[in-house]
Structure 1
Amino acid sequence: MKRLQTAAIALLFLSSAASAATSSWVETEGGDVRLVALPAAADGSVRAMLDIRLHDGWKTYWRDPGGSGIPPSITLTGANLVSIGFPAPRRLGDVENHYIGYDRPVRLPLTLGNAAGGAITAKVFLGVCKNLCIPVQAELSVDTSGESFANPLEEAAIAAAEASLPHGADDGFKPLSGHFAADGMSVTVRFEAPGDTPLPDVFLSSASSFEFGAAGPVRREGAAFVAEVPVLHRPKVFDLAKNPISLTVRAGEKTMESPLAID
């Protein structure tokens, strides 16, 4: 697990009982968390979300925290976790202790599979930080067995969570190339972004055991933007065709996420 740099660490284990298709809030010092799920489709798939309600001044982590922190982890019973979506993060902390995550409430849309239309329980592990960091462990349960139609409020909340995800590549906002340094300790990233936005911020992540740091200053080279991203951990064996590195870019309020071709 990625290291957690803290002044003090407290571990909370809390649970919420099943109540319709939205769990109770599990409340902690730094933020509250709940699970929201819609009725299962005919193929057993479920649209859901992990709702993280951060308190003022508290922060939580992205899927690759940048070398310091705890990425959110979800383990399910009653369904399989097919995918978890992350809105584009922000660079947080200071020069000496920086990390990547969120400083405001965030909703992570989930796609679940093989749901039988009954109880679903999610064991969630995440970190929230202010002056100290608290690893939060929560057990969240929902029961969709009595749900044949989606609750409009739940459906609207999940649709908003899905809409918050970065868009895919398109004309004028797309990755161009990636290149490992000779020592393998950084990746040079080239991409296009809208020219009418603030200087973009760049984040890399991977489903394999790569770990990336916060990108250096973004610079222009002709029509392209270029950034150097530190590689904090590079696995001895990896298959980029199977598990490609993802490039996430934030340019003002515009965001993009797409696989990055490494040459």
Structure 2
Amino acid sequence: MKRLLIAVIPLLFAASSAAAASSSWVETPGGDVRLVALPASADGTMRAVLDIRLHDGWKTYWRDPGGSGIPPSVAVTGATLTSVGFPAPKRLGDAETHYIGYDRPVRLPLTLDKAAGPITATVFIGMCKEICIPVQAELTVDASDESFANPLEEAAVADAEATLPHGAGNGFKPLSGAWAADGKSVTVRFEAPADGPLPDVFLSGSSSFEFGAASAARLEGDAYVAEVPVLHKPKVFDLAKDPIRLTVRAGEKTMESPLAID
């Protein structure tokens, strides 16, 4: 939360009952949240989505809010949460209260494993307008008796997955990363389409890393270069096991890929 919080109201705790493969909407002043899940596949994996329906003017945060804000947290019982996907974010706020997130409704795809019976997701997110509201909700679904996915639920999950950044490809990929001598920033080099607006750069790592707002990208030869402040760097980390990810937005085109840092 840090500087961004102008005022804080008490946490909103809410629980929704199981309603087939979609939970009820949990309503808050800043927006509504629900969980949608599809029937498990033959190998026990399940596709799901955390659906965040922001109200007009409200915003929520990316996985690394950039020094101000509440990163979304999802904990699941009844299954193993193996991944949470995030669409490419935007820079929000101003120079004094900068943060990274979303200013429109967003769906976060989830991948679950070993699902059996009812599943409850306990989520903790922040929503901001003139004030910031930390929201906690328990969302329960039960798709264990479903043989076929509801078309509307299947479309919701598929639409969410379609918003995720593409992986690295020809002409849109990371090239290198380098720590500054003092460890307080990372210089990122990457390729991106040159026929659109200047790309916007975001870094994220494990929960113990924290990155700030990247400098404006500049074109050097055939590559773009940007510097990203390191707001917090743990003393011990293993980038081979848990790499830092580079996310780039170039107009409507987005890319996300692990970044090798020297």
Give ranges in structure 2 of 5+ residues lacking alignment: none
Q: What is the alpha-carbon distance in structure 2 between the residues aligned to residue 197 and residue 247 of structure 1?
A: 19
Aligned pairs, number: 261
Secondary structure of the structure 2 residue equivalent to 1:162: helix
Which residue number in structure 2 is paired with residue 32 of structure 1?
32
2:251 is aligned to: 252
Give the CA deviation at 1:163: 0.8
The alignment status of 1:200 with 2:182, answered yes or no, reads no
In the alignment, residue 33 of structure 2 is paired with which amino acid? Answer: V
The alpha-carbon deviation at position 7 of structure 1 amounts to: 1.6
Q: Is the 8 A contact 1:3 1:70 kept in 2?
A: no
- 8 A Cα contact 1:208 1:243, kept in partner: no
Contact residue 3 and residue 97 of structure 2 kept, 8 A = no
| Identical-residue share of aligned pairs (%) | 77
Q: Aligned partners of 2:57, 2:4: CA distance in 1, in Å?
A: 18
Stretch moving more, 249-258 or 145-154:
145-154
Runs (4+) off by over 4 Å: none
Q: How does 1:188-227 map to 2 (within 5 A)?
A: 188-227=187-226
Task: Report the Cα distance in structure 2 between the residues aligned to 1:148 and 1:25, rounded to whole angstroms.
Answer: 24
Where 2:91 maps in the other structure, the secondary structure is: strand
**Aligned twin of 1:172:** 171
Contact between 1:188 and 1:228, CA under 8 Å: does it hold in 2?
Answer: yes
3-state SS in 1 of match to 2:99: strand
| Cα shift at 1:4 | 6.3
Bigger drift between 207-216 and 95-104 goes to 207-216
The aligned residue for residue 55 of structure 1 is 55
Asked whether the equivalents of residues 62 and 71 of structure 2 are also in contact (C-alpha less than 8 Å), the reply is yes
Measure how far apart 1:146 and its partner are: 2.2
Structure 2 residue 87 is matched with structure 1 residue 87:
yes
**What secondary structure, in the 3-state scheme, does the structure 1 residue paired with 2:157 have?**
helix
Alignment match, 2:144: 145
Structure 2 Cα separation of the partners of residues 203 and 160 of structure 1? 23
Residue 162 of structure 1: aligned partner: 161
Partner amino acid, structure 2, of 1:13: F
- C-alpha distance in 1, partners of 2:86/2:154? 18
| Partner Cα separation in structure 2 for residue 150 and residue 157 of structure 1 | 11
Post-superposition Cα deviations, 1:59-86, rounded to whole Å, max 9, x if no partner, equal 0000000011111101111111100000
Matched letter for residue 54 of structure 2:
L
SS at match of 2:4: coil
Q: How far has the Cα of 1:5 moved from its partner?
A: 3.1
Question: Structure 1 counterpart of 2:67, which letter?
Answer: G
- The match for 2:42 is 42
Name 1:17's counterpart in structure 2: 17
Partner of 1:239: 238
Shift in CA distance, 126/67, structure 1 to aligned 2, threshold 3 Å: same
Structure 2 CA distance for aligned equivalents of residues 40 and 69 of structure 1: 34
One-letter amino acid of the counterpart of residue 174, structure 1: K
Q: Cα–Cα, structure 1 residues 228 and 74, in superposed 2: closer, same or farther, change >3 Å?
A: same
Letter in 2 for 1:62: W
User: Structure 1 residue 9: deviation in Å?
Assistant: 1.1
Q: Which residue of 1 aligns with 2:182?
A: 183
Question: Do the aligned partners of 2:176 and 2:261 also contact (CA within 8 Å) in 1?
Answer: yes
Q: Following TM superposition, by how much is the alpha carbon of 1:138 offset from its aligned partner in structure 2, in angstroms?
A: 0.3
State the distance in 2 between where 1:127 and 1:226 align. 31
Query: Residue 193 of structure 1 contacts residue 251 of structure 1 at CA under 8 Å; is this kept in 2?
Result: yes
The offset of 1:208, in angstroms, is 4.8
Amino acid at match of 1:15: A
How far, CA to CA, are the matches of 2:113 and 2:95 in structure 1? 41
Is the CA contact (8 Å cut-off) linking 1:205 and 1:247 kept in structure 2?
yes
Tell me, yes or no, if the aligned pair for 2:14 and 2:137 is still in contact at 8 Å. yes
CA deviation after TM superposition for structure 1 residue 108, in Å = 0.3
Distance 1:7 1:262 in 2: 36
1:156-196 deviation per Cα after TM superposition (whole angstroms, max 9, x unaligned)? 11011111100000000000100000000000000000111
* Distance in 2, Cα, partners of 1:138 & 1:151: 24
| Counterpart-to-counterpart distance in 2, 1:16 and 1:208 | 28
- 2:71 alignment partner in structure 1: 71
